[in-house]
């Protein structure tokens, strides 16, 4: 009887080892088109689940196939050489002595001042109708042609420089789920026509938009089901962008935004996509909630106002919080994980081009009221 039980177990070892080899190959980009392989490889924990159900310890499979104890998606920056590069999807164990001598990448930011880090996740948050989409379209056009973002300038020691320079023209993919292609075109055309021929040519080459003709494409999701992510993955694979923009987050899932576990899964699924396609940056728009007060009088502001679980605040690298002011003006507050703090700024929609343009810096960089209209600046 023991031999009869052992035989299926041995076969299972071999089968799972083969699936793991295919999964590893897929992660290196060698196998791309086999749907069954995608289903198996989409969740590495599936292998653990199968072996748990068969009462086979994962450690025994590791001994049979010399598997690593875990595999974790990790989005790293470019220019770092290692036996396992930072953007390979593998965790790296490095002695501190080696870490000290590791060269710093020449390019750490897609957009200067830490606004968009290489490999980073950026959230654009604000209440409805606060020009978040105009901000995203402005950034998309300017990144695709290498123009400094918002035209924002600073002066230091008599020298004027751009606050948010773009390292070079980037290939940008917008996956838009609210307006649709017709409205996107109507908003983009004045922006496009305001630029010179050189920059228009770069935009024609580098900017792609995925959307329904009107409104939402319900097939494009980030949920845990493989079929959901498969559609988005196919779009990214076809376009091969440097920058992915998702607008808005709420239209890319069916989960409970207030549930930490649901949002953790969503962010992990997004991290898998970011790592698989080696995206230089991902930018997501998301609505803010109403200001919250606790018993001690604390008022949530800045990224804390992002609607739903605090997992969203924990997942990002940079946050641009939009507050609607009077007229076509907005206030932008910045929270940066990989750069020193920078001042808030006032921007306005250009009445001719429709682009969001810098007007002035807020003295002291005060962030209070981020995400809601500010009473101090109207």
Q: Are residues 87 and 144 in the same domain?
A: no
Q: Is the pTM of this model over 0.75?
A: no
Q: Are residues 57 and 7 in the same domain?
A: yes
The predicted structure's pLDDT at residue 103: 83
Q: How many other β-carbons are positioned within 10 Å of the β-carbon of residue 228? A: 18
Distance from C-alpha of 16 to C-alpha of 109, rounded to nearest angstrom: 40
The predicted structure's pLDDT at residue 373: 37
Domain that residue 169 falls in:
109-365
Q: Are residues 219 and 199 in the same domain?
A: yes
Distance from C-alpha of 101 to C-alpha of 311, rounded to nearest angstrom: 33
Pull the structure tokens for residue 323: 């507050």
| Domain membership flag for residue 208 | yes
Q: What is the DSSP letter of 174?
A: E
Distance from C-alpha of 345 to C-alpha of 134, rounded to nearest angstrom: 16
C-alpha closest to that of 147 among 139, 137, 155: 139
| Domain membership flag for residue 21 | yes
Q: Are residues 43 and 113 in the same domain?
A: no
Pull the structure tokens for residue 17: 């080892």
The predicted structure's pLDDT at residue 261: 92
Residue pLDDT tens, the chain, 378 long? 545 445 555 555 555 555 444 444 444 343 333 333 334 444 445 554 554 444 444 444 444 444 444 333 333 444 334 444 444 445 678 899 888 888 877 778 999 999 999 999 999 999 999 999 999 999 999 999 999 999 999 988 888 999 999 999 999 999 998 889 999 999 999 999 999 999 999 999 999 999 988 866 667 888 866 666 888 899 999 999 999 999 999 999 988 999 999 999 999 999 999 999 999 999 999 999 866 555 554 445 678 889 989 899 889 999 999 999 999 999 999 999 989 999 999 999 999 999 999 999 997 644 443 333 334 444
The predicted structure's pLDDT at residue 292: 56
| Domain membership flag for residue 289 | yes
Q: Which residues are bridge partners to 126 per DSSP?
A: 287
Query: DSSP letter string over 234-273?
Result: HHHHHH--SEEEEE-GGGG--S-TT-HHHHHHHHHHHHHH
| Domain membership flag for residue 371 | no
| Domain membership flag for residue 334 | yes
| Domain membership flag for residue 59 | yes
Q: Are residues 85 and 165 in the same domain?
A: no
The predicted structure's pLDDT at residue 151: 95
User: What is the biggest distance separating any 2 CA atoms in the chain, rounded to whole angstroms?
Assistant: 86
Domain boundary among 104, 127, 156: 104
Q: Is 166 exposed, middle or buried (0-12, 13-18, 19+ CB in 10 A)?
A: buried
Q: Are residues 258 and 342 in the same domain?
A: yes
Number of domains in the chain: 3
Q: How many residues does the chain have?
A: 378
Contact call for residues 23 and 61 (beta carbons, < 8 A): no
**281-287 and 120-126: which strand pairing?**
parallel
Q: Are residues 147 and 219 in the same domain?
A: yes
Q: String of b and e for 186-217 (b: at least 16 CB within 10 Å)?
A: ebbeebbeebeeebeebbeebbbbbbbeebeb
Sign of CA pseudo-dihedral 238, 243, 246, 247 = negative
Tell me the H-state helices in the chain: 2-27, 35-41, 45-53, 58-65, 96-101, 132-145, 181-193, 197-206, 226-239, 260-276, 311-315
Q: Are residues 40 and 166 in the same domain?
A: no
| Domain membership flag for residue 378 | no
Q: Are residues 148 and 292 in the same domain?
A: yes
Contact call for residues 315 and 326 (beta carbons, < 8 A): no
Distance from C-alpha of 168 to C-alpha of 336, rounded to nearest angstrom: 21
Q: Are residues 129 and 149 in the same domain?
A: yes
Contact call for residues 284 and 232 (beta carbons, < 8 A): no
The predicted structure's pLDDT at residue 245: 98
Distance from C-alpha of 304 to C-alpha of 203, rounded to nearest angstrom: 34
Angle at 202 between CA 201 and CA 208, to 5 degrees: 105
Contact call for residues 284 and 116 (beta carbons, < 8 A): no
Q: Are residues 220 and 191 in the same domain?
A: yes
Q: Are residues 60 and 121 in the same domain?
A: no
Domain boundary among 39, 65, 91: 65
| Domain membership flag for residue 303 | yes
């Amino acid at each position: 009887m023991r031999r009869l039980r052992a035989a299926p177990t041995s076969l299972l070892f071999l089968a799972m080892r083969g699936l793991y080899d295919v999964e590893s190959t897929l992660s290196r980009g060698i196998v791309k088109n086999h749907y069954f392989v995608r289903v198996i490889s989409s969740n590495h924990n599936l292998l653990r689940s199968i072996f748990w159900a068969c009462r086979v310890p994962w450690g025994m499979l590791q001994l049979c196939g010399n598997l690593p104890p875990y595999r974790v998606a990790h989005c790293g920056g470019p220019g770092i050489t290692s036996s396992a590069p930072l953007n390979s999807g593998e965790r790296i164990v490095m002695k501190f002595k080696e870490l000290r001598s590791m060269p710093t990448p020449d390019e750490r930011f897609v957009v200067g001042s830490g606004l968009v880090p290489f490999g980073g996740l950026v959230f654009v948050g604000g209440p409805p109708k606060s020009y978040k989409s105009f901000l995203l379209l402005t950034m998309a056009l300017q990144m695709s042609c290498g123009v400094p973002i918002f035209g924002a300038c600073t002066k230091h020691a008599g020298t004027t420089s751009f606050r948010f320079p773009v390292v070079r023209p980037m290939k940008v993919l917008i996956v838009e789920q609210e307006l649709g292609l017709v409205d996107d075109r109507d908003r983009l055309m004045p922006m496009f026509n305001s630029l010179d021929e050189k920059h228009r040519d770069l935009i024609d080459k580098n900017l792609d938009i995925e959307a329904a003709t009107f409104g939402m494409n319900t097939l494009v999701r980030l949920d845990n089901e493989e079929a959901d992510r498969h559609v988005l993955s196919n779009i990214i694979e076809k376009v091969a962008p440097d920058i992915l923009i998702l607008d808005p987050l709420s239209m890319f899932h069916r989960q409970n935004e207030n549930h930490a576990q649901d949002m953790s899964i969503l962010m992990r699924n997004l991290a898998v996509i970011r790592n698989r396609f080696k995206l230089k940056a991902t930018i997501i728009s998301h609505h803010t909630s109403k200001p919250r007060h606790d018993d001690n009088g604390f008022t949530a502001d800045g990224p804390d106002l992002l609607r739903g679980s605090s997992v969203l605040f924990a997942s990002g690298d940079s946050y641009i919080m939009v507050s609607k002011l009077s007229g076509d003006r907005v206030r932008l507050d910045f929270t940066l994980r990989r750069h020193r703090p920078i001042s808030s700024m006032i921007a306005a929609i250009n009445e001719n081009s429709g682009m969001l343009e810098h007007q002035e810096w807020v003295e002291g960089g005060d962030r209070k009221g981020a995400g809601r209209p500010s009473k101090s600046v109207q």
